[in-house]
Amino acid sequence: MKSSATEIKLGERFEFGENWSRFLAVLDEMRISEAEQSLKQMLDLKDLSGKRFLDIGSGSGLFSLAARRLGGVFILSTMIPNRWPVLES
Tens of pLDDT along 3-37?
777 877 887 766 666 667 777 888 899 999 999 99
Domain ranges of the chain: 4-88
Check: CB of residue 55 under 8 Å from CB of residue 78.
Answer: yes
DSSP 10-61: TTSS--HHHHHHHHHHH--HHHHHHHHHHHHHHHT-S--TT-EEEEET-TT-
Is pLDDT of 46 > 60? yes
Higher confidence at residue 65 or residue 25? 65
What pLDDT is recorded for position 32? 94
| Bridge-based pairing state of the strands 52-56 and 74-78 | parallel
Higher confidence at residue 18 or residue 83? 18
Q: Binning pLDDT at 50, 70 and 90, where does residue 68 land?
A: very high
How big is the chain, counted in residues?
89
Beta-carbon count within 10 A of 50 CB = 9
Task: Report how far residue 79's alpha carbon sits from residue 84's, in angstroms, rounded to the nearest whole number.
Answer: 11
